[in-house]
Amino acid sequence: MAGWVHAKRDLGGKKFLLLRDRDGIVQVVISKDQRELCELFYELTLESAVSVVGKVRADARAPGGFEVVPTRIVVLNLARAPLPLDVSGKVPADVDTRFRERVLDLRREETKAMFKVLSVALRAMREELYSAGFVEVFTPKIVATATEGGATLFPVAYFGREAYLAQSPQLYKELLAGAFERVFEIAPAWRAEESDTPYHLAEFISVDVEMAFANYEDAMRILERVVARAAREVREVAPRELRVLGYEPPEIRLPVRRITYADAARVLAESGERVDPGEDLSTPHLRRLSELVGEEVYFIVDWPDKTRPFYTMPKDDGVFSESFDFVWGHLEIASGSTRVHRKDLLVKRLKERGLNPENFEFFLKWFDYGMPPHAGWGMGLARLGLMLTGAKNVRELVAFPRDKKRLVP
Amino acid sequence: MAGWVHAKRDLGGKKFLLLRDRDGIVQVVISKDQRELCELFYELTLESAVSVVGKVRADARAPGGFEVVPTRIVVLNLARAPLPLDVSGKVPADVDTRFRERVLDLRREETKAMFKVLSVALRAMREELYSAGFVEVFTPKIVATATEGGATLFPVAYFGREAYLAQSPQLYKELLAGAFERVFEIAPAWRAEESDTPYHLAEFISVDVEMAFANYEDAMRILERVVARAAREVREVAPRELRVLGYEPPEIRLPVRRITYADAARVLAESGERVDPGEDLSTPHLRRLSELVGEEVYFIVDWPDKTRPFYTMPKDDGVFSESFDFVWGHLEIASGSTRVHRKDLLVKRLKERGLNPENFEFFLKWFDYGMPPHAGWGMGLARLGLMLTGAKNVRELVAFPRDKKRLVP
């Protein structure tokens, strides 16, 4: 057995060493006639890495119903004392301390539980996509053009040329759907977000899906299945972690309710909220909407065209678009649409948004060669993680978050 | 049914339209009394996206044993003619044309087969790691410090600060193993490689594993199981794709043979090859070695310490190290080691290699807090892909490769 010294208890005649590994905590009992081990017990500091050889014996009073009587304890790496952060979680630490002392913070049961839940969710989502015929792909992260406008780009010096970190795999996943039909990617993306909110990161993991010969209804059907499976498998595979977190992810019944933007705006207006027609909905709007419609998760569909990016398919009415957000309570977790597959319309929409079609030639070119109708969505993994773990800030779900003030560790 | 016009054959009385989708090719037969469809047939260009409504009827002469008699054909997006690349693969194209016209190239059966094989391999590798208790993680890609020396870094402008794209997740995955014990990550990494070889890319997908309370023998046992499972599942799940590629991945019998560097050097010297003692082995060396030992895949273990990075654990002899390469024929596919877990030794090794320990403080700090003995490996996904598909250049296995001359598409 090997692990970390989680706690020590000296009852005189018996000394208890609580050893923590990835499966939990085991009690090691040293009796006072074990002289050398007793001396070692006093030297051992919390969070030291040790290995223990001994005999397991049943004891109803021990955590897990058994304890270990050691014959040998080897100190693998002695930890410095005092620790800058209490791993047992009994002494709470503020957020800045926690992220500065992140490796110790990641050893806490609660933090470990969050990352285990994310890992289970990732596996579940991929399995759902594989079973629906999707191929896993990777798109380039160093790109020559801004996908969604230029304000939030990180510049990269690329062999003497100007390049950027990809804000999303949007245009490349569309091109890949134009070859492989059904593709998904789970990979980092970057936005140079100036604002400090609980929901934004400079570097985030994006779950992306794109499908050919499909529209936004098809995309929503895949998305709700993927999210429902993630929530279900987390409940089934990680019950211990959910107990540690004191949280239950929502049960998602299919089909998830669809509410049009127009209906949402009407319901909000009727309840006395002010909604500017054709504008995006704010967080307070969404919070109120969730209460009014009595749904914990729901789609808002058919958003005003002007609130969506150039590659979104407008509806025939010229006002709305074939688009959706997947919302949990007041938080947008995923967003998608039918995409425009006609070159002339793409060029027109780029120009309307003040973007230069020449910069998008690498993308537009392929719409001359049989780009099929297609649709897809993108989801922030950490935002989904909020729904699955009950965490309040996306930084909790990123091992080493990157934002305006964090580049280290 | 929806897909792309793969080929047209006009036999006068009957017109054959070969429609391609992700499942294969279907024959659509238009008879001469279907006036409107005949006119459409003439207008249709290769690679146009179309949907077909009709009746399926058995026909032994058709590909797949059946054909479709259409009642309606809708043109979803008409392709421009002529095409810059022949998707049927009958007219071969040079490499530069293929990558310039990559979206059409990706529609070729052979290219699609390669990416399907990669997707199957990714799923298999992750399943093997999950079943061995590994947690999937993501490490930061924007970092403040070079991991492996500074020559091949891409600088990023990060909110007015100098930062770099991660060359590997090495240091962060070690820290995560110091919390979660068993972690893996499959994500992009970057090296500003000046050289143009079939085995190097500026942006590549790295499969990374790190495990606590483990040494390089443990790491090799996980690696060989992961690779063997990938090869086996590709054979089981993607036989159609392997037929298209005319290739069989090697059958990997466990345990894969371990050959020490010292033995390899001796065997090479005995066969008349010149090996500088303590130096890395060249591609011609590895090619010859594979022949001499009669193994298609093998480990070379216990490399000279001076050929390995600072975080590699040296052997007690001070000359060799607890390190390994996994080699297929003449190609290093993965590389790993026991890592140093003592801070004093890490500092000493950094200095020996001309690196400043102060720049590594974010990493070194944690070795004061019970960093356990640990080991791991990193593997280039595209290199593994060469072994699984028989492709000759890693660019073939990347949808939109990035190298010194390629930033677009």
**Tokens for B122?**
């990714």
Nearest chain A residue to B399, by CA: A139
Smallest Cβ–Cβ distance between B141 and the set A115, A203, A404 belongs to A203
pLDDT on residue A89: 83
Nearest-CA distance from B85 to chain A in Å?
11
pLDDT on residue B38: 95
Q: How does residue A178 score in pLDDT terms, banded at 50, 70 and 90?
A: very high
Other beta carbons within 10 angstroms of residue B196's beta carbon come to: 9
pLDDT on residue B134: 98
Average pLDDT, chain A: 95
Percent of chain B whose pLDDT exceeds 70: 99
Peptide bond into B409 cis (omega under 30): yes
B141/A188 Cβ within 8 A: yes
pLDDT on residue B126: 98
pLDDT on residue B248: 96
Nearest-CA distance from A265 to chain B in Å?
34
Test the B interface: residue of A78, A369, A400 with most B CBs within 10 Å: A369
Q: CA triplet B378, B379, B382: central angle to 5 degrees?
A: 150
pLDDT of residue A146 exceeding 80 = no
A141/B400 Cβ within 8 A: no
Q: How far apart are CA A373 and CA A214, in angstroms?
A: 6
pTM here is: 0.96
B203/A372 Cβ within 8 A: no
User: What is the spatial order of strands in the sheet that B323-328 belongs to?
Assistant: B135-136, B182-190, B203-212, B374-380, B331-339, B323-328, B297-301, B258-260
Pairing, β A155-158 against β A142-143:
unpaired
Put simply, whether A407 touches B (Cβ < 8 Å) is yes
Contacting B residues, span 203-222, partner chain A, CB-CB under 8 Å: 203, 205, 212-213
Put simply, whether B143 touches A (Cβ < 8 Å) is yes
Q: How does residue A272 score in pLDDT terms, banded at 50, 70 and 90?
A: very high
**Residue pair B123/B406 in contact by the 8 Å Cβ criterion:** no
Test the B interface: residue of A103, A108, A162, A190 with most B CBs within 10 Å: A103
**Residue pair B357/B364 in contact by the 8 Å Cβ criterion:** yes
User: Where do the H-state alpha helices sit in B57-142?
Assistant: 95-100, 102-106, 109-131
pLDDT of residue B363 exceeding 80 = yes
B400/A372 Cβ within 8 A: no
Cα–Cα nearest to B158, from A406, A163, A144: A406
A chain contacts of residue B179, beta-carbon cutoff 8 Å: 103, 106-107, 111-112
Buried/exposed code over A140-158 (b: 16+ C-beta within 10 A; e: otherwise): bbbbebbbbeeebbbebeb
Mean pLDDT, residues A46-66: 92
Contacting B residues, span 6-25, partner chain A, CB-CB under 8 Å: 21-22
pLDDT on residue B277: 82
pLDDT of residue B250 exceeding 70 = yes
pLDDT on residue A147: 63
User: Residue B65 class from Cβ within 10 Å (0-12 exposed, 13-18 middle, 19+ buried)?
Assistant: exposed
Smallest Cβ–Cβ distance between B22 and the set A182, A187, A399 belongs to A182
User: What is the spatial order of strands in the sheet that A182-190 belongs to?
Assistant: A135-136, A182-190, A203-212, A374-380, A331-339, A323-328, A297-301, A258-260
pLDDT on residue B62: 82
Q: How does residue B193 score in pLDDT terms, banded at 50, 70 and 90?
A: confident
B158/A156 Cβ within 8 A: no
Mean pLDDT, residues A221-231: 98
Q: How far apart are CA B252 and CA B247, in angstroms?
A: 15
Contacting A residues, span 307-326, partner chain B, CB-CB under 8 Å: none
Q: CA triplet A260, A352, A333: central angle to 5 degrees?
A: 35
Residue with tokens 């929409």: A349
Smallest Cβ–Cβ distance between A106 and the set B2, B107, B179 belongs to B179
B chain contacts of residue A83, beta-carbon cutoff 8 Å: 369
- B265-307 pLDDT, tens digit per residue, is 999 999 999 888 888 999 999 999 999 999 999 999 999 999 9
Nearest-CA distance from B39 to chain A in Å?
19
**Residue pair B277/B319 in contact by the 8 Å Cβ criterion:** no
Mean pLDDT, residues A248-265: 96
Put simply, whether B190 touches A (Cβ < 8 Å) is yes
- A318-334 pLDDT, tens digit per residue, is 999 999 999 999 999 99
pLDDT on residue B149: 63
pLDDT on residue A207: 98
Q: How does residue A149 score in pLDDT terms, banded at 50, 70 and 90?
A: low
Nearest-CA distance from A324 to chain B in Å?
23
B156/A154 Cβ within 8 A: yes
Put simply, whether A160 touches B (Cβ < 8 Å) is no
Nearest-CA distance from A101 to chain B in Å?
9
Angular region, A36: left φ>0, alpha ψ -120 to 50, beta rest: alpha
Angular region, B68: left φ>0, alpha ψ -120 to 50, beta rest: beta
Q: How does residue A62 score in pLDDT terms, banded at 50, 70 and 90?
A: confident
User: What does the DSSP assignment read for A326-345?
Assistant: EEETTEEEEEEEEEP--HHH
Put simply, whether A139 touches B (Cβ < 8 Å) is yes
Put simply, whether A76 touches B (Cβ < 8 Å) is yes
Q: Which domains does chain A have, with CATH numbers?
A: 2-82 (2.40.50.140), 106-397 (3.30.930.10)
Nearest-CA distance from B368 to chain A in Å?
5
Q: How does residue B148 score in pLDDT terms, banded at 50, 70 and 90?
A: low
**Residue pair B261/B277 in contact by the 8 Å Cβ criterion:** no
Smallest Cβ–Cβ distance between A144 and the set B144, B362, B407 belongs to B407
A130/B126 Cβ within 8 A: no
Q: How far apart are CA B313 and CA B341, in angstroms?
A: 8
pLDDT on residue A87: 95
A407/B188 Cβ within 8 A: no
**Residue pair B144/A407 in contact by the 8 Å Cβ criterion:** yes
- B82-120 pLDDT, tens digit per residue, is 999 999 988 989 989 999 999 999 999 999 999 999 999
- A8-20 pLDDT, tens digit per residue, is 999 988 999 999 9
Q: Which helix (H) or strand (E) holds A129?
A: helix A109-131
A154/B158 Cβ within 8 A: yes
B chain contacts of residue A172, beta-carbon cutoff 8 Å: 399-400
A chain contacts of residue B122, beta-carbon cutoff 8 Å: 136
Angular region, B246: left φ>0, alpha ψ -120 to 50, beta rest: left
A138/B2 Cβ within 8 A: no
Q: Which helix (H) or strand (E) holds A99?
A: helix A95-100
